Amino acid sequence: TTQPAEVQDPGETQKPGIPEEVWEGQKGTAEGPTGTHRVQFHTEKKMQLALEASAEENAARMKRKRCEAQSEMCSPADWIRQDDWPVGIRNVGNTCWFSAVIQSLFHLPVFRRLVLNYHLSERILEKCKSHSDKRNIAFMQELRCLFALMVGSTRRFVDPSAAVELLRDAFRTSEAQQDVSEFSHKLLDWLEDAFQLAANGNNPEDKQKNPMVQLFYGTFVTERKHEGKTLHNIEQFGQYPLQVNGFNNLDECLEGAMVEKEIESLHSDHIVTFVQFWCCRWFKKLPPVLTFELSRFEFNTQLGRPEKIHKKLEFPQIVYMDRYLHKNIDQTHERRGEVKKLKEQLALLQQKLECYKNYGSGPTKYPLADMLQFVLEFATTKPTSISPAEDLRPAASSPTPANHPVSEPASKDNRCKSQISSVSSCQRTPIYKPFTQCRHPLDCPPHPAPHSITEEELHFVKTCLQRWRTEVENDINELKASIDKLTQVLEGMYSDNSLCQVPYRLHAVLVHEGQASAGHYWAYIYDHGNKRWMKYNDISITESSWEELERDSFGGMTNASAYCLMYIDDRLPHLITEDTDDETGQVLRGIDSLPPLLRRYVHEDNRWFQQELSEWEEQFCQTAAPQGESTASAEPPSTSSDNIQQTPVKPGVILAIAKARQTFDTEGPEAGLIKAFHEEYSRLYELSQEETTPQEDARLQHALVYFFQNKAPKRIIERTLLEQFTDRNLSFDERAISIMREARAKLRLIKPQDMDMDEYMQWHDDYRLFRTVFVYLLTGLEHYQIREALIYLAHAYETNDGLLRNGEKRGVDKSLIALYRRKCLTALNERASRLFCSGEESKVEEGVAIMDEAVIPCLHLMSRDTALSLEDRDAMESIRSHWCCCLGQDMDDSLQVKLGEFLPRVLDGSADTVVLKDPPKVHVHQAHDLCSRLAAVMESIHNASIVIVK
């Protein structure tokens, strides 16, 4: 057999297909590789290249992490995204803070659009020579990949390792601290710098065009008054810090940050002087996204370590920022003056109330109303004839009654126990509160009473005490009412419309649980579309509520509390609106909202994920299936392209790597890969030249044989074979691992413009359909005597017919499937006729079912085939004639009725619509299995011997 030139010469193979630089690497200077035949490389194209190729690495990372996390196999459903449920982010080692920050930003549609549509012109890229610029571009590239996967991935969670490592590397090389807040600030700084490159300049005007500045940065004005002069200073802010200690809610924090303060400044240039001045802050311009950083960590100088502040701090879902704006300074000053007066009045009232509640000149305080009541009770208690001293004597000489509780003495000395008990009974005489217990129990000792009191004295005391007690209670009630009224007035001081024009709605709450030195982070994010709170905890995403958010975020109860609040301007709907189609105006969801390049990237990653699931299913089936189970397993075919990378590794690849051993050892992994590539290429090409027989079809052995016979484009063939060498299961020795890594590196160098992925996927889809045709055909022949057999064969014919429209070698020999379909149709029709004519009810029903489910739909499909063979037409006529003859036979009236119901459909395929029943789901097995099944079935048919297909 004559081989094509590309098989004979390794240097010629790659020129018409995969670009030459894929095999030779990216050589040359920063301006581009050397050589006249090589494509000029620019940074933008490298970015596109990395986007396309990193899908495979992401898939490998995800599978590796999954294997590390799971000690045994679990259901693939645990790793598949459900509908449009948000995608989680894997914790790759103390990166929960990154997940919380990124999820908060990603679920802000305006920011998500900025990242996904980030673009730098070639002219700007040529100027980016510094390390920081290249690093920021690389970080934006990884963030775009991450966001794209979070939009359209079929995975339940994605891996952020590449972006996180860039952040960590910066701290390893130039920073000493690795604090979470430092990481967060570094992340935002890089984003700002990256967008500044797109703004194309560093002057103040260009910086104002920076989308990050426009979205997240505002300005505040600081006013300083010193010696009668007022100084103004305008500063920019991003995440605005707020103190937690000393405040109860967010408004108090803001008031504390804005209010005037007296500051002492120390100047030490040989002379020590103290300068006093007043300082206050006002927001000059608020950003659309307003972020408050709550200072919940402080350094304890005595212990020499940071500590967390667990104090409770409340915050609202909507905060009005009017009173903190510089433009409202006069109105706010006026309100603050009123508030100050009201607070002074409130403090005075609370002080008076406190005096009533805690009265007394000694160290112990009591409520004044209770004290008056106690005196009244003392005055009205009748004196007894026994003195208190005499009352103690009998108690000391007799046992303590059971109904007189006494304190257990600290000492257990029996000699003085009775004496101590008697004294304790006197000391523990209960004091009865007014309102709750007005009478003494009969079994309790009497209260102290005056030794003597006249009726006149008693009347005078009772009258005064009762009047005073009533006055005190009235005063307390009036104070409480005044305090409530003042509190309501204070709460409503900033609630009128004039100071409620700038509403900010809570978008995200970032929570920390633990201590200052260690802990865990997660985020609560508001789903604006569905009006609900969601909890994002690494890979776990659950629907939440405001009540749960309060419990976890306010602090004070547990060691969990909010450390960052993200509010958005409620007047700007574009912040939360999703992308829409320019022509139709419909909302773009999922992968449709991505730019074309990222869309291809996500498609590629999803393809890797589907392949990974297929591998899992293969391994699970091989592990779980019992011996002797039928190969027609009731499992669904893979929804991916079902390309040739399956587990275990193709034997041809292993053999090719073995043949390349000498080249690998002498020239290295790249040369070893090229040698192995050509060995397998040549073997498969020779295999494609062999003649196809009913017993053997080489196309089942490998997709490349199918591609060769159908003259697929060279780039499709070469990428397919190159992917064969990237199989993750090539880990049986170091040589195979090196070749696998080299193949992956080559695969990453194939740029989007070099490969039409839609065309690539179409070829692999055709090959999957080709194998599906064989599965239907073989399953139908293996189950020849049941009605499902005809359904399998009919589907095989229809699917195969669609393939053959694109080429003679695209499908199976049409006459072969037609032959067995015709034989099965005739046999099933005869069986249905025998059952129907038997007259037994159960058999009649079974015969009618065979006709309705299999025979009649198959007849209809055959009648609509314009290229139907003469043999098939004769078989159809024979079946129709047979049922027509049944009309003249003697049979029960019920049978005549049933015959009259389905006979018109037998005779006329256009009488109504009959849909062929879907066949049971079957698994598209590996090449060796299909080849052996084909040989076994054909042997069984031609030799009339029983063959067990393993």
User: Is residue 610's pLDDT more than 90?
Assistant: no
More confident residue, 69 or 710: 710
**pLDDT at site 92:** 82
More confident residue, 914 or 645: 914
Lowest-pLDDT range, 275-289, 469-483, 860-874, 901-915? Answer: 901-915
Average pLDDT over residues 635-649: 37
Lowest-pLDDT range, 160-174, 300-314, 317-331, 481-495? Answer: 160-174
User: Is residue 574's pLDDT more than 80?
Assistant: yes
The predicted-structure confidence for 335-388, as pLDDT tens digits, reads as follows 888 888 888 888 899 888 888 888 887 788 889 888 888 888 888 888 765 555
Neighbouring CB atoms inside 10 A of 762's CB total 14
The predicted-structure confidence for 196-210, as pLDDT tens digits, reads as follows 887 765 565 666 678
User: Is residue 405's pLDDT more than 80?
Assistant: no
**pLDDT at site 346:** 87
Distance CA 342, CA 340 (A): 5
Question: Residue 694 carries which DSSP code?
Answer: S
Tell me whether residue 96 is one of the annotated catalytic residues: yes
3 state SS for 461-508: HHHHHHHHHHHHHHHHHHHHHHHHHHHHHHHCCCCCHHHCCCEEEEEE
Distance CA 618, CA 624 (A): 10
**pLDDT at site 474:** 93
Distance CA 38, CA 35 (A): 6
268 contacts: CB under 8 Å, gap ≥ 6: none
What are the angstrom distances between the C-alpha of 387 and each of 384, 390, 427, 452, 701?
A: 7, 5, 16, 12, 116
Q: What is the pTM of this model?
A: 0.55
**pLDDT at site 527:** 93
Catalytic residue among 520, 621, 837, 882: 520
Sign of CA pseudo-dihedral 310, 314, 315, 317: positive
Structure tokens at 798: 């229809």
Sign of CA pseudo-dihedral 334, 336, 342, 344: negative
Distance CA 887, CA 876 (A): 18
**pLDDT at site 750:** 80
For the chain, what percent of residues have pLDDT higher than 70?
Answer: 72
Domains and CATH numbers, the chain: 46-62+75-209 (3.90.70.10), 651-755 (no CATH), 768-945 (no CATH)
Average pLDDT over residues 262-281: 55
- DSSP character string of 285-297: E--SEEEEEEE-E
Query: Mapping DSSP to helix (H, G, I), strand (E, B) and coil, where does residue 541 land?
Result: strand
Q: Rounded to 5 degrees, what angle do the CA atoms 100, 103, 104 make?
A: 85
**pLDDT at site 30:** 36
**pLDDT at site 129:** 79
**pLDDT at site 39:** 35
User: Is residue 857's pLDDT more than 90?
Assistant: no
In this prediction, residue 804 has a pLDDT band, given cuts at 50, 70 and 90, of: confident
Helix (H) or strand (E) holding 836: helix 814-837
- Is there a contact between 58 and 605 (Cβ–Cβ < 8 Å)? yes
- DSSP character string of 310-372: ----B--SEEE-GGGBGGGHHHHHHHHHHHHHHHHHHHHHHHHHHHHHSB-SSSS-B-HHHHH
The predicted-structure confidence for 496-529, as pLDDT tens digits, reads as follows 788 889 999 999 999 998 887 678 899 999 999 8
Distance CA 709, CA 695 (A): 18
Tell me whether residue 520 is one of the annotated catalytic residues: yes
**pLDDT at site 329:** 82
User: Is residue 545's pLDDT more than 90?
Assistant: yes
Average pLDDT over residues 435-459: 67
Q: Of 660, 707, 709, 700, nearest to 680 (Cα)?
A: 660
More confident residue, 558 or 172: 558
Lowest-pLDDT range, 83-87, 112-116, 648-652, 896-900? Answer: 648-652
User: Is residue 327's pLDDT more than 70?
Assistant: yes
289-295/560-569 β-pairing? antiparallel
**pLDDT at site 731:** 65
The neighbouring-strand residues paired with 222 are 233, 281
Distance CA 115, CA 145 (A): 10
The neighbouring-strand residues paired with 230 are 225
User: Is residue 639's pLDDT more than 50?
Assistant: no
User: Is residue 73's pLDDT more than 50?
Assistant: no
- Is there a contact between 295 and 338 (Cβ–Cβ < 8 Å)? no
Helix (H) or strand (E) holding 527: strand 519-527
User: Is residue 172's pLDDT more than 70?
Assistant: no
The predicted-structure confidence for 213-247, as pLDDT tens digits, reads as follows 899 999 998 887 766 677 788 888 888 999 888 89
User: Is residue 644's pLDDT more than 50?
Assistant: no
- DSSP character string of 227-267: TTEEEEEEEEESEEEEE-TT-SBHHHHHHHHHS-EEEEEEE
157-158/88-89 β-pairing? parallel
Q: What are phi and psi of 236, to 5 degrees?
A: -95, 150
The neighbouring-strand residues paired with 524 are 509, 535
What are the angstrom distances between the C-alpha of 172 and each of 101, 166, 179, 230, 950?
A: 21, 10, 12, 45, 57
Distance CA 747, CA 752 (A): 11
Q: Of 369, 393, 373, 401, nearest to 476 (Cα)?
A: 369
Distance CA 85, CA 532 (A): 13
Q: Of 63, 11, 58, 62, nearest to 37 (Cα)?
A: 11
**pLDDT at site 351:** 87
**pLDDT at site 109:** 93
**pLDDT at site 94:** 79
Average pLDDT over residues 692-717: 85
The predicted-structure confidence for 96-138, as pLDDT tens digits, reads as follows 888 999 999 999 999 999 999 988 887 888 788 788 888 888 8
Q: Is 292 exposed, middle or buried (0-12, 13-18, 19+ CB in 10 A)?
A: buried
Peptide bond preceding 636: is omega within 30 degrees of 0, i.e. cis? no
- Is there a contact between 591 and 603 (Cβ–Cβ < 8 Å)? yes
Mean pLDDT of the chain: 76
User: Is residue 62's pLDDT more than 70?
Assistant: no
More confident residue, 921 or 374: 374
- Is there a contact between 607 and 761 (Cβ–Cβ < 8 Å)? yes
- Is there a contact between 338 and 492 (Cβ–Cβ < 8 Å)? no
Catalytic residue among 96, 145, 824, 858: 96
Lowest-pLDDT range, 316-325, 559-568, 671-680, 867-876? Answer: 867-876
Query: How far does CA 331 lie from the centroid of its chain?
Result: 45
289-295/239-243 β-pairing? parallel
More confident residue, 65 or 749: 749
222 contacts: CB under 8 Å, gap ≥ 6: 232, 233, 234, 235, 279, 280, 281
Average pLDDT over residues 471-478: 91
More confident residue, 189 or 41: 189
Lowest-pLDDT range, 622-631, 672-681, 779-788? Answer: 622-631
411 contacts: CB under 8 Å, gap ≥ 6: 420
560-569/540-543 β-pairing? unpaired
- Is there a contact between 532 and 541 (Cβ–Cβ < 8 Å)? no
In this prediction, residue 915 has a pLDDT band, given cuts at 50, 70 and 90, of: low
**pLDDT at site 477:** 92
| 554 backbone φψ class: left, alpha, beta (φ>0; ψ -120 to 50) | alpha
Q: What are phi and psi of 376, to 5 degrees?
A: -65, -40
The neighbouring-strand residues paired with 306 are 299
Distance CA 701, CA 699 (A): 5
